[in-house]
């Protein structure tokens, strides 16, 4: 399997979204579909053909599942908002593998990221039929200085679980659903995700169950399997 493809899938499967919104609003459950746009500079044609084009997120009251359809099969992540854990399900080298990160492990991983702050602006735009606000992303240097590192768009029209984005190092303080944003995926590739469909609907509990055929492994075991 192409290593660039695996890195991209792992990056995509780290996605989650935001925090608690307005108490007077009814809790949102439903499905969000994002279109993926990748900066393919220097990417071989073989790897380019393997890249996914959409990400689908299923939002429940207590769990969130992100699903990516690839040539290798569906790759998924399940975020348990009660215990604040993150389980990644991957179909790799013909094997169905699962990796579970506890809250402590996730916080340790976040310590390796730079510090970010966000600033909500008055600029608005409609995305997927929803009014969205622009947010500036500010990177904080070790001496406390801030510099603009990008921007994103979000909507605050829904009430979400308070832990909805607890493990997102950039947007952990954003009170809303991300609708358009960018992220680096490794190998100097930049990925942009834009919501194209947001559906309010009940999501069955079975959608968040981990299939019995998946074998739990550590990240070290995964590295050996895929040859990193």
Could you read off the pLDDT of 116-129 as tens digits, one per residue?
A: 999 999 999 999 99
Across 16-44, average pLDDT: 67
- φ, ψ of residue 6 to 5 degrees: the values are -65, -40
Tokens of 163: 């832990």
CA-to-CA distance for 26 and 146, rounded, in angstroms?
36
pLDDT the model gives residue 22: 35
Burial of 129 (0-12, 13-18, 19+ CB in 10 A): exposed
Domain coverage including residue 168: 3-226
Give one word for 129, left, alpha or beta, with left for phi > 0 and alpha for psi -120 to 50.
Answer: left
- DSSP code string of 120-149: EEEEEEEETTEEEEEEEEEEE-TTS-EEEE
Would you say residue 3 has pLDDT above 60? no
- This model's pTM is above 0.95: no
Tally of structural domains, the chain: 1
Could you read off the pLDDT of 4-14 as tens digits, one per residue?
A: 555 555 555 55
Across 85-111, average pLDDT: 89
| Count of helices and strands (H, E) across the chain | 4, 12
Could you read off the pLDDT of 128-186 as tens digits, one per residue?
A: 999 999 999 999 988 989 999 899 999 999 988 878 888 888 998 888 899 999 886 66
Could you read off the pLDDT of 36-77 as tens digits, one per residue?
A: 988 766 667 777 677 788 999 999 989 999 998 777 667 899
Per-residue CA distances from 60 to 97, 101, 163 (Å): 23, 20, 12
pLDDT the model gives residue 190: 79
CA-based Rg of the chain, rounded to a whole angstrom?
17
Closest CA to 14 of 79, 84, 93: 79
Tell me how far apart the terminal alpha carbons of the chain are, to the nearest angstrom: 11
For residue 113, what pLDDT band results from cuts at 50, 70 and 90?
confident
Closest CA to 215 of 88, 102, 104, 101: 88
CATH code, domain carrying 148: 2.50.20.10
Is residue 155 a contact partner of residue 132, using CB atoms and an 8 Å limit? yes
pLDDT the model gives residue 31: 96
Strands 95-101 and 215-216: parallel
Closest CA to 10 of 189, 152, 174: 189
Across 187-191, average pLDDT: 72
Across 200-204, average pLDDT: 94
- φ, ψ of residue 124 to 5 degrees: the values are -125, 160
Across 27-31, average pLDDT: 92
Closest CA to 43 of 150, 180, 149, 185: 185
pLDDT the model gives residue 207: 94
The residue among 121 and 20 whose pLDDT is bigger is: 121
Tokens 């080298």 locate to 93
1-14 in b/e form (b: 16+ CB < 10 A) is bbebbbbbbbebbb
CA-to-CA distance for 162 and 61, rounded, in angstroms?
10
């Amino acid at each position: 399997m192409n290593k660039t493809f695996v890195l991209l899938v792992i990056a995509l499967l780290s996605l989650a979204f935001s925090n608690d919104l307005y108490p007077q609003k009814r809790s949102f459950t439903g499905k969000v579909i994002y279109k993926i746009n990748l900066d393919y500079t220097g990417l071989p044609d073989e790897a380019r053909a393997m890249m996914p084009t959409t990400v689908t997120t299923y939002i429940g009251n207590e769990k969130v599942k992100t699903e990516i359809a690839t040539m290798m099969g569906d790759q998924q992540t399940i975020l348990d908002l009660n215990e604040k854990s993150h389980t990644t399900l991957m179909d790799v080298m013909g094997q169905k593998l699962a990796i579970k990160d506890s809250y402590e492990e996730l916080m340790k991983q976040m310590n390796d990221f730079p510090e970010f702050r966000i600033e909500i602006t008055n600029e608005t735009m409609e995305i997927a039929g929803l009014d969205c606000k622009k947010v500036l992303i500010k990177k904080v240097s070790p001496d406390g200085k801030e510099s603009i590192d990008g921007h994103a768009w979000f909507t605050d029209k829904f009430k979400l679980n308070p832990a909805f984005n607890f493990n997102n190092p950039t947007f952990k303080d954003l009170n809303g659903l991300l609708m358009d944003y960018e992220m680096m995926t490794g190998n100097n590739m930049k990925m942009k995700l834009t919501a194209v469909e947001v559906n309010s609907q009940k999501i069955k509990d079975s959608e968040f169950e981990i299939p019995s055929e998946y074998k739990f492994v550590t990240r070290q075991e995964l590295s050996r399997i895929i040859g990193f």
